Amino acid sequence: MSANVNYLIKGGKVLAPDGTRSCDVLTNGGTIEAIGENLNTGGAEIIDASGLWVIPGLVDIHCHLREPGFEYKEDIASGSAAAAKGGFTTICCMANTDPVNDNAVVTEFIKRKGISAGFAHVLPIAALTKGLAGEELTEVGNLAEAGAVALSDDGKSVKSAQRMRLALSYAKRFGLKVISHPEDLDLVNGGVMNEGYWSTALGLPGTTRAAEETIIARDCMLAATENTTIHIAHVSTAGGADIIREAKKRGVKVTCETAPHYIYATDELVKEYDSNTRVNPPLRAEADRAALIEALRDGTIDCIATDHAPHHIDDKNVEYSIAASGISGFDTAFAMCWTALVKPGHLTPEDLFRKMTSSPSEVLGLDAGRLETGRAADIAIIDPNAEWTVDPSKFASRGKNTPFAGHALTGLVRCTICGGKIVYGG
């Protein structure tokens, strides 16, 4: 990590709130001092951004950093270093650690470790129920005071509709958003991949889309009943997107995300039985992928989140049916989105950047994701034309679990600045 010096980022295509323009960006300490043409260096170190995009640091509101308890998979330092390599300067980590982040002590521990690592702003998402058991609600006031930015039992769905309703009402009093993990385990019924052609062809038990869609519908109705907000995690089906689209039309205060792997890949990828393709919810069919892209285009899906889920090789080097679910995503997230969304013309570069910066920030009410004077100098410098091949051995994350090894991607993060410091590249 570099010393905290001033930088003049020259000649890049800058994504600022007032529009895109070719100009310079000057940082001073930890803030952005000026954005404009032909800025005076004033002794600042020059970064040549000719031909590159200069954008706000990416914001991820759904990742798993594994610490405390599962440091053999990832720790906060390695995870946030991977985030920095991927262009992320603000990351929100889920509560399924050991011990679970269901109390102020663990929340404060995660914040301290993030500050100590220094690669990104690490913001804890605390558990909605104690021990992620879906029964007793956590002490939301204490968690909010300790620094939790949202509440979620991600990894598990709150089975009781009444418990979820009470949670929404309780969280509303403290200004925290509830993030729903939409999965009816009774309907999952042991499924390990998407129910459809490929599950039949491969002889693997499938998971019906209804397992996701029934909980999305339920939680939208509960949010409407309580007149409060809810955020739906990792939407993966066409039906789920349709339910959210209609709920928004009715005025329900619902936001949602999808993840890069759902807009880049389909369940056909499972055909080699590579356990790295096992993810929850599972990779879906091409019709679902196309529907998610359209939902990003029309604003139904508010943002893109990585669902970065690193695992040790031993968790994946087993039979498909018992392999851990999850993809290590920080290192590849941006390039997968650029390749699947911008390169084919589905989204403009500006649209994609907003889905990964200001939009996720707005979902959780964070002070991040905008490039303007007076704000924190959290910046990513992007090469839109760089072509590269995914090599997990070069991941900054401890988790090398990706099904995309050998895939050719376009779009590369050249430099990440967090709080005025170069934390990657330079």
Instruction: Give me the residue spans of the domains in the chain.
Output: 7-53+377-425, 58-364
Instruction: Point out the catalytic residue in the list 24, 307, 331, 378.
Output: 307
The DSSP secondary-structure symbol of 308 reads: B
* In CATH, 7-53+377-425 is 2.30.40.10: yes
Give the whole-angstrom CA distance, residue 177 versus residue 171. Answer: 7
408 and 387 in contact (C-beta within 8 Å)?
yes
| 254 — pLDDT class (breaks 50, 70, 90) | very high
181 and 240 in contact (C-beta within 8 Å)?
no
The token pair that represents 188 in the structure block: 């999952």
Q: For the purposes of burial, counting CB atoms within 10 Å of the CB of 40, is it exposed (0-12), middle (13-18) or buried (19 or more)?
A: exposed
Report residue 299: phi and psi, to 5°. Answer: 90, 0
- Considering the domain delimited by 58-364, tell me its CATH architecture: Alpha-Beta Barrel (3.20)
134 and 155 in contact (C-beta within 8 Å)?
no
Closest to 27 (Cα-Cα) out of 409, 423, 378: 378
Q: Give the tens place of pLDDT for each residue, 305-352.
A: 999 999 999 999 999 999 999 999 999 999 999 999 999 999 999 999
Task: Give the per-residue pLDDT at 1.
Answer: 43
Closest to 16 (Cα-Cα) out of 29, 32, 35, 33: 35
Give the whole-angstrom CA distance, residue 14 versus residue 150. Answer: 30
**Which residue carries 């930015």 as its tokens?**
149
| Mean pLDDT across 119-139 | 98
| Mean pLDDT across 155-175 | 96
The token pair that represents 212 in the structure block: 């996701």
Task: Give the per-residue pLDDT at 40.
Answer: 87
* pTM over the 0.95 mark: yes
Task: Give the per-residue pLDDT at 242.
Answer: 98
Q: Is residue 307 annotated as part of the catalytic site, yes or no?
A: yes
Closest to 325 (Cα-Cα) out of 288, 259, 281: 281
